[in-house]
Each structure stands twice: as structure tokens, then as C-alpha cells.
Amino acid sequence: MAEPPEVFVSYARSDKERVLELAGRLRAAGVSLWLDTSGIDAATLWGEQIVNALESAKVLLLMLTGSAVESKNVAREVMLVSERNGNILPVHLEPIQIPPTLKYQLAGIQHVECFSQGDTADSLKTIVRALQRLGVKVAPVAPEVKPAAPAMQADTSASAGASASASASASASGSASASAEPSAGAERGALAVLPFDNISPDPETDYFSDGLTEELIARLSMLRDIELVSRSATRQFKHAKHDISAIGRELGARYVVGGTVRRFQDSVRITAQLEDVGTNRQVWGNTYKGKLDDIFEIQEQVAQQIVEALKLKLTFSEKVSLTKRQTLNAQAYDLYLRGQEYLYRLTKRSVERAIQLFEKAIELDPRYAAAYAGCSGAYGQMYWLFSRDEKYREKAREMSFKALMYDNNLAEAYTAMGVSYFIWGKFAEAGASARKAIELDPDDFIAYWTLGRIHFANGEYDLAYDVYQRVIKLKPEFVNAYSDLRMTCQRLGREQEAAHARSELLERMPTYLLQNPDDARQRMLYATALAEIGHNDEALREGTQAQELSPNDPAMLYNVACVYSRLGEPRRAVEALGQAITAGYENFSWLRNDPDLDALREDADYKALMTGR
């Protein structure tokens, strides 16, 4: 078996021609190289083949140009190698300034200049010697090898093999696809997967049964011959005691999957059944018992037996998708599910707890893409909602890159990247990432929420209105969306709808705050809504309590300004706004569009504060 190439070449797609020329010269000099020649960019594949090549290489040969230092994929490759203390040899193909994002990784190491035509041979010798010092073996050079030819020869075997494998896979899929007509044994119709009931002694393990339901839906959604009822529709039947067939008819589904989950310590017992609503008969059912470590095999068995019961024939790629595992570590999977449950409570304490759980999952499985995505999302929400500490923003970006690095087809990874771009003020990139997430998972309410906030910040209120309506439909208990919808309706002049959204917020918030008394942000949003309807004393009480819970936080000080503005106290509102900006608040596009601050727009102190911003 051939040894893997010892040098991984990292470069920007626009530099392909000159990189291939230099790569040909290096191969001719006896250097074993791996480089992708397919022109991968940030919006397409960046996956396992590249990760494996990076991890097996002794040196990352970094081809630096103006395009390369702006390339997201180049940044990912540098970050991955730097994190494992690998060797990097930067080669400057043109004079450039190293940007702050790469300065740390490229500080204190040798750099080679290779942009003067007159000293190409000397630069080549310098690169080869530097690679040898970093442990790269240089093969003896056969005299008949021509320098320009090797760009497509033996050392591209990894790429060639991948292409051949991809062609074989495509051929297999095409062949299977031709014969993959549904069997006449089962009538066609929509399939609904109901939330599995948690019958465990500990009700706190709800996250586990919810996670199993989500995983089953995710697996079945990859199959073209299954028409799935959306999660937003089936989620409302969690804890419902209705007859399954009746629920199926209400959902317009021909088939319904339901079941129970019982977990005690490390033991798991799962029952699942498939019912035909048309005949009111059970098509299939089974009970699975095992340990937590058996959970992945159980998940695969449930999905496969549903497919068999429906008499579906799968393509080769669908069979692979049905058995795909995000992680092989059951403990990491359990930590991830718990982290998801904490994250979507969106209180400061719950998000902090989610970060701890995701990071522990990553510690157990350093290539767990979903855990990186969850961790990125948690850091992003921490920065946006609770504390404008730069370390949170940096971690959100870092973790989102890693999530995509390990699985570039994961909706959560694009959602996390959307949040990350949003908090960095890169709205175009944030919107593109959120839309990609929605394309992969149409029920991703966080991706929709991010998109709504982008539209609102850009003054695109009609678009924001539609998106926030979708968020509420997907996640009715998500109280943030009612506040956002209220503001959007006010900007559109839809006062009746704004009042309705505010009423929903005021109705839901007391119960929410009883359950989450330390959620300073939601308490402040509640204060704003109370001030808007003239309940000034209550608004002041809630606002004061919220500020005590989270003093000196920029986002909190901004919301204090909103409360005082609604209370008709412009001096105190402008003072709080100034404190927020001093403390680091910088989302001025949102500030300029926020109807809670409309009472300040003509205030002289407000205008002075906003000059130049």
C-alpha cells in the first residue's frame, strides 16, 4: 500500500494555475504532495477526505496570496493543523499582509518568498530544504521526469482515487435508482413520526426521548420515497393521549410512527410501532432493549424496519445515509442531546450549561460535528443575548468552522455559522448560511430566527414579518419571537397584529419567568411590554430586577434604554443607551430600526450620541 502524501497543499481556488505549476516542480524534486484540484469553495464540499489528508500529512504547505488569506477553507485548514501543533510552512506567492485571523498561527515560524521570477529555482530549493527539516522525506529524482508534467501524476492518487470512488458511487446510485420503484405491497402516503413518550422514572430524561425522535426523523427524511409530515406539525402531539389513527387523520398522514422510551441509568428500552391510518391496523411493531452503548444500533434497526414494513427499495446512497452516525461514542451523544435541551431554553444559565455539555462531548469525540455546531450556537447566543465578551464571538466562529469541517452537510453547522456571521455583523454571509440550513432542515427555527433578525436590521420588514411568523409556527413556546414580531408589525403599521403579539408575550411571560427566574433578558423584554401598555410600576419593578441580575452587560443596558423610552423618560433612556455603547453595544442597524426607541429620535442628546454611528 502506498504511503500517504507527507505534504498537504493549502491554497485559494483563484490561485490554482500557479499553485499547480509550483506543485509540479516540487513533485519533480521528489516531494510527495496532496492537493485538491476540484476547486472546493466555502459553499460546496469540504469534508472528510480533506480532513484525513490533513491529519496524515507531516506539513501544511500554505500558499499565501491576497485571495488565500481571505479564503474560509484555507483558514479552516490552518486552524486544524495549528490546533494539533502540526507543522506549517507558509510560502508567499505575492507580497501580502498577514491578517489578524492568521497572525497567531503563522507567528514565529519560517516563511518563504516565491514571487520573484528570477529566483524561482532558489525558492524551490529553500522550500524543499525547509520541508526536509520538518521531517518530510524527499525521494530520489529519476532523470527522465519532466518538471511540468507531474501535476496530474502519481502523487495525486488520493484525489484520483476519490474521483474514481465518486464515479463508482454515482454509477451504483444510478443503477439502483432505475430499479428503486416503490413496491406495490404498501400504498403510498405521508408518514408522521410522533414524539416518543418518555416513560422513564426520571422526567428530566425527556431530552433523550426527544433526541431519539429527532434522529429517526432525520434518518427517514433522507429517503426520497418517504413524504414526511413536518416536525412542527407532529410536535404539538407530544404528551397527547389521543388515538394514533385519529392523530394521523388530523395530520393528513397515511402512516404514523409512535413509541415509548424508558431509560434507567445505563439501560434503555424502546418500543416503536407503525400504524396504517387507512386500515386502522398496526403494520409493524417491535421492542428493543440494551445499554446506552447500543443506542446507535437500535436507531438504525428502527429506521430500517420501518423502511422494510413500507416495502421501500433504497438506492445505494440512501442505504448509506440510513446508517450514517454522527459519533460512535454513546456518552458523547448523550451529552450532545442534553446540551441541545439546555441551549434552546435560551437563558443565560442554560446556555452556559449547554456550552459545558457540548465541550465535554467534543472532548470524548473530537470529530463530532453536531457537538461543534451546538457549541458554536451556544457561544453565539451567549454573545448576542447575554454578554458582549469577545471570547464568545471568537469561539462561535471557531466552532462553526470545525462543525462544517467535519460534516459539510449538517444543517446545524450552517445554522451555527449563520449566528456567528450575524454577531460579527456580516449579514450577507449570515443570511446565506441560514438559508442553507433551512434548505437542509426546513424546521430549523433558529435559522429562521436569525434570518428574521437580519431582515429587521436591514429594514426589510415585510420579509422579517413572514420569517417571524414561521418561527412562531415552528416553536410556539419561543417567547423571543413574539417580541420580534411585535416590533416588526409596528414598523409595518400593523398595530392590531402588534398588539396581538404583545398580548401573547404578556400572557406567556409570567409562567416562563416562574420557571426561569434568573433570565434577565426575558424579564427586561417583559418590562418593555408592560411599559408599552402603561403598567409603569410593574415595568420599573421588572426592569430593575433584570438589571440587578445582569449589571453592566451591553445588551441589558440597551434594553434598559428601551424600557425608559417606553416609560417616557428620555434622559434616562439616552443615558442607558450611552452606557450600552460604551460597554460594547455596536448593532447600530438594529438600534436605528427599533420602535422601542422611536420616542428618542428627535432628542438632541440622542442625536449627539448617534453622530458618526
- Residue 472 domain-assigned (yes or no): no
- For residue 255, what is the domain's CATH number? 3.40.50.10070
Which domain, by its residues, includes 43?
7-161
Q: Are residues 141 and 285 in the same domain?
A: no
Task: Determine what percent of the chain is predicted with pLDDT higher than 70.
Answer: 88
How far is residue 613's CA from residue 599's CA, in Å, rounded to a whole number? Answer: 19
116 and 218 belong to one structural domain? no
Same domain, 49 and 152: yes
Number of folded domains that form the chain:
3
Answer whether residue 172 shows pLDDT above 50. no
Q: Which of 322, 357, 387 is the last residue of a domain?
A: 322
Encode pLDDT of 428-471 as tens digits. Answer: 999 999 999 998 888 899 999 999 999 999 999 999 999 999 99
- What is the pLDDT at residue 600? 93
**pLDDT (0 to 100) of residue 488:** 95
Q: What is the pLDDT of residue 183?
A: 38
Of 221-225, 328-332, 575-579, which gets the smallest average pLDDT?
Answer: 221-225
In this structure, what CATH number is given to the domain that contains residue 35? 3.40.50.10140
Tell whether 279 and 156 lie within a shared domain.
no
DSSP character at residue 597 = G
The mean of the pLDDT values for the chain is 82
Domain limit, last residue, from 306, 322, 338: 322
Q: What are phi and psi of 60, to 5 degrees?
A: -95, 115
What pLDDT was estimated at residue 38? 58
Rounded to an integer, the average pLDDT of 2-26 is 86
At residue 242 the predicted structure's pLDDT band, cuts being 50, 70 and 90, is low
Residue 79 lies in a domain: yes
Q: Residue 434 has which C-alpha cell?
A: 441560514
Q: How far apart are CA 84 and CA 304, in angstroms?
A: 38
Flag whether pLDDT at 307 surpasses 90.
no
In a domain, 419, yes or no: no
Query: Do 268 and 144 belong to one domain?
Result: no
Confirm whether 309 is domain-assigned. Answer: yes
pLDDT tens-digit series, residues 541-587: 999 998 888 887 888 889 899 999 999 999 999 999 999 888 888 88
Instruction: Please tell me whether residues 208 and 252 are part of one structural domain.
Output: yes
Cα separation, 229 vs 249, whole angstroms: 12
Q: What is the pLDDT of residues 90-130, one digit of tens each?
A: 998 888 888 877 876 787 677 888 866 555 677 888 898 88
Same-domain status, 30 and 138:
yes
Q: Are residues 203 and 310 in the same domain?
A: yes
Ranges 47-56, 74-83, 305-314: which has the least confidence:
47-56
Taking the C-alpha atoms of residue 453 and residue 430, their distance in angstroms, rounded to an integer, is 10
pLDDT of residue 379: 96
- pLDDT of residue 230 exceeding 50, the answer is yes
At 179, is the pLDDT very low, low, confident or very high (cuts 50, 70, 90)? very low
67 within a domain of the structure (yes/no): yes
Could you give the CA distance from residue 86 to residue 80 in angstroms, rounded to a whole number?
A: 9
Residue 583: CB atoms within 10 A of its CB come to: 15
> What is the SS3 assignment for 261?
strand
Same domain? For 141 and 216 the reply is: no
CA 566 – CA 546 distance, rounded (Å):
16
Strands 191-193 and 197-198: unpaired
Does residue 71 form part of some domain? yes
Split at pLDDT 50, 70, 90, the class of 187 is low
pTM over 0.85: no
Of the pLDDT bands very low, low, confident and very high (cuts 50, 70, 90), residue 63 is very high
pLDDT value at position 188? 67
| DSSP state at residue 230 | P
What band does 161 get if pLDDT is binned at 50, 70 and 90? Answer: very low
Please, what sign has the CA dihedral across residues 37, 43, 321, 316? negative
In three-state secondary structure terms, 34 is: strand
DSSP 8-state class, residue 384: I
pLDDT of residue 147: 40
pLDDT digits (tens, 9 = 90+) for 284-298: 888 888 888 888 888
Residue type, 490: Q
Judgement on whether residues 154 and 234 belong to the same structural domain of the protein: no
| Across 346-364, average pLDDT | 91
For every residue of 287-330, which 3-state class applies, written as one string? EEEEEHHHHHHHHHHHHHHHHHHCCCCCCHHHHHHHCCCCCCCH
Answer yes or no: do 12 and 146 share one domain.
Answer: yes
* Identity of the amino acid at 378: A
* Average pLDDT of span 399-407: 92
Is the per-residue pLDDT at 173 higher than 50?
A: no
Residue that terminates a domain, selected from 270, 288, 322: 322
Distance CA 461, CA 358 (A): 35
CA-CA distance, 366 to 413, in Å (whole number)? Answer: 15
Give a yes or no: residue 568 inside a domain.
yes
pLDDT at 423: 92
Whether residue 144 has pLDDT greater than 50: no
Specify if 489 maps to a domain. Answer: no
Mean pLDDT of 375-385: 92
The dihedral built from the CA positions of residue 101, 105, 108 and 111, taken in this order, carries a sign that is negative
Q: How confident is the model at residue 159 (pLDDT cuts 50, 70, 90)?
A: very low
**Which of left, alpha, beta for 603 (phi over 0: left; psi -120 to 50: alpha)?**
beta
Which contiguous run of DSSP H or E holds residue 62? strand 59-64
| Beta bridge pairs of residue 87 | 59
Does the pLDDT value for residue 204 go beyond 80?
no
pLDDT of residue 117: 55
Query: Residue 305: which pLDDT band, with cuts at 50, 70 and 90?
Result: confident
Which band of pLDDT confidence, cut at 50, 70 and 90, is reported for residue 164?
A: very low
Q: 17 and 106, same structural domain?
A: yes
